[in-house]
Structure 1
Amino acid sequence: MGPRADAALPREVEPYLTELVHRIRAVYQGGLVSAFAVGSLALGDYRHGRSDIDITVVVDAAAPVDRAHELAEALAHPGLHCPAAGLELVVYDADFAAAPGPRAGYLLNLNTGPLLPAVADFEPGRSPGFWYVIDRAIGYQSGRLLSGRAVREVLGAPVRRDVLASVAASVREHTAGEGHLADNRVLNGCRSAVFCRTGRWVAKREAGRSLAAAVPEFRPLIEEALHSFERPRGRALGLPAEEVVAFLHWVRRIVAGTPE
């Protein structure tokens, strides 16, 4: 389960999240339907210096399209200083959010912050949908409300077939490895395997500890990934490339064998 709704936000990011919501409201005026955290903030494992801040925003379907462009400008680092590794924020209109399906479907995909390449994308058709499907599934299970209507009032239930296809796509991407730290590749694989075994999304470190205890063959690799994950991104450890790929091929077999 994610954190309780009344649990304290990490002190390092609470003022930032307050200002973030203030700026979203200011841009969308009465058109903000809901804003909630997904990712590590939702799953109760935010780590300052390593984690991103992952936010989903749902807005009225009648809101002017140019509001998404205004929001990207209003939230861009360093104009609004992001205290985390980065902000990954996605805006959906309420009609899409209620029945999202397998597509990316966003009005805005914003990446900004000190350790993220800046992205402000308004064309969802150019993006593979799998990351967004996974984030929405985590949000539906454990999303942490920051403003507006309850998550499950605005976000449609994930379709298991779509989620499993998205998990498979994410593991394929991590197997290829381009642009991903080795420890994150391993722990994302752990999270994927645990989801396929249990039907629940858990934080990457929790998934790693669970799988290390259950699968002795990969325990040394997973424990080394967990050790590396404790370090800031810039000081992450290298892991044996062949072992990482072998582990992810094992995860792919777990995912492929999961019944719909």
Structure 2
Amino acid sequence: MSRPPLPPPELRTYLGELVRRTGDVCGPHLVSVLAVGSLALGDYRHGRSDVDVTVVVDPALPRPALSALAGTLAHPALPCPAAGLELVVYRSGFTARPSSAAGYLLDLNTGPLLPGRASQDPEDGPAFWYVIDRSVAHQAGLPLYGAPARDVIAAPDRTAVLAALRDSVREHADGEGHLADNRVLNGCRAAVYCRTGHWFAKRRAGEVVAASEPVFRSLVTEALSSFERPRAEALTLPPADVRAFLAWVAGRVDEAAVATGA
């Protein structure tokens, strides 16, 4: 059996300390700590990417413990070497079954380039990001501690993932709060998921779409070039072209939903 990949060298000390602090707060409640997102898909780029982590506990932690966890992991109490940390805590009873809900106990965003957030209310915002993240985690979650991803996180139903992708594309089409290159490459990832039922790294998905869709090749190639830059140096992509591309992606999601019966 092949060994799971190691996190990038720039993050190993940080992730080790994150796991240690999480274990100190959660104690015997801690079931699993998983790297998800770009780390899981092999697309982490230092200085540009966030660190995405999913924590599974059993039983649910009380609110004071969740607040203590947020406090000990927040930047700069634990300095984040990446653009930011996006950490979500779930109870194992929730992640063991497919769901279209957000369902988290704690959603922590922190870091040098990420607006701070520590929510314990899963109704605090849209659910679609969490559905997508759990789908990625089930496919490719990188275990940092405890049980493997597929043992603790059920794959959301394809209909739920497609509905989440609809909402994701709609948010990216609005554009607020998202870099243009990330909007385009997230769209590429959504389009490739619709074709294949699997999650690809953003850059690989961009290469696939650039090769197969000549009308969008220039835009996607420019987005890939921009994605290699630090966030502060991201390129400005033509807004009308980005909107047209995301409208095309929305069409691919709708086609996949019809084929699935969603």
Instruction: Tell me the TM-score normalised to structure 2 length.
Output: 0.96
Distance in 2 (CA, whole Å) between partners of 1:43 and 1:26 is 28
Distance in 1 (CA, whole Å) between partners of 2:118 and 2:62 is 17
Report the 3-state secondary structure (helix = DSSP H, G, I; strand = E; otherwise coil) of the residue aligned with 2:192: helix
Q: CA RMSD in A?
A: 1.0
Distance in 2 (CA, whole Å) between partners of 1:94 and 1:248 is 35
Q: Which residue of 1 aligns with 2:150?
A: 152
Report the 3-state secondary structure (helix = DSSP H, G, I; strand = E; otherwise coil) of the residue aligned with 1:191: helix
- Quick one: which of 223, 240, 244 aligns to 1:225? 223
- Quick one: which of 72, 91, 94 aligns to 2:92? 94
Report the 3-state secondary structure (helix = DSSP H, G, I; strand = E; otherwise coil) of the residue aligned with 2:243: helix
Mapped contact 1:5–1:144 kept (Cα < 8 A):
no
Shift in Å, 1:190: 0.3
Q: 1:15 to 1:253 in 2, by over 3 A?
A: same
Deviations 1:3-57 (A, max 9, x none): x643232111010000000000000011100110110000001100000000000
Please identify runs of 4+ aligned residues in structure 1 that moved more than 3 A: none
Q: Which residue of 1 aligns with 2:132?
A: 134
- Quick one: which of 175, 178, 189 aligns to 2:176? 178
Distance in 2 (CA, whole Å) between partners of 1:36 and 1:116 is 20
Report the 3-state secondary structure (helix = DSSP H, G, I; strand = E; otherwise coil) of the residue aligned with 1:68: helix
Shift in Å, 1:62: 4.5
Shift in Å, 1:158: 1.4
Q: Which residue of 2 aligns with 1:238?
A: 236
Q: Which residue of 1 aligns with 2:49?
A: 51
1:117 matched to 2:108? The reply is no
Distance in 1 (CA, whole Å) between partners of 2:124 and 2:6 is 37
Mapped contact 1:91–1:108 kept (Cα < 8 A):
yes
Mapped contact 2:107–2:120 kept (Cα < 8 A):
yes
Deviations 1:166-217 (A, max 9, x none): 0111001001101000000000000000000111101100000010000000
Mapped contact 1:5–1:145 kept (Cα < 8 A):
no
Report the 3-state secondary structure (helix = DSSP H, G, I; strand = E; otherwise coil) of the residue aligned with 2:89: strand
Q: Which residue of 2 aligns with 1:80?
A: 78
Q: Which runs of 5+ in 1 are unaligned?
A: none
Shift in Å, 1:61: 2.0
Mapped contact 1:34–1:150 kept (Cα < 8 A):
yes
Matched length: 257
Q: Which runs of 5+ in 2 are unaligned?
A: none
Distance in 2 (CA, whole Å) between partners of 1:5 and 1:113 is 30
Shift in Å, 1:154: 1.0
Shift in Å, 1:100: 4.4
Report the 3-state secondary structure (helix = DSSP H, G, I; strand = E; otherwise coil) of the residue aligned with 2:218: helix
Identity of aligned residues (%): 58
Report the 3-state secondary structure (helix = DSSP H, G, I; strand = E; otherwise coil) of the residue aligned with 1:254: helix
Q: Which moved more, 1:168-177 or 1:62-71?
A: 62-71
Q: Which residue of 1 aligns with 2:9?
A: 11
Q: Which amino acid aligns with 1:244?
A: V
Distance in 2 (CA, whole Å) between partners of 1:58 and 1:218 is 40
Q: 1:131 to 1:32 in 2, by over 3 A?
A: same
Deviations 1:55-75 (A, max 9, x none): 000001243332111100010
Q: Which amino acid aligns with 2:206?
A: G
Distance in 2 (CA, whole Å) between partners of 1:238 and 1:154 is 40
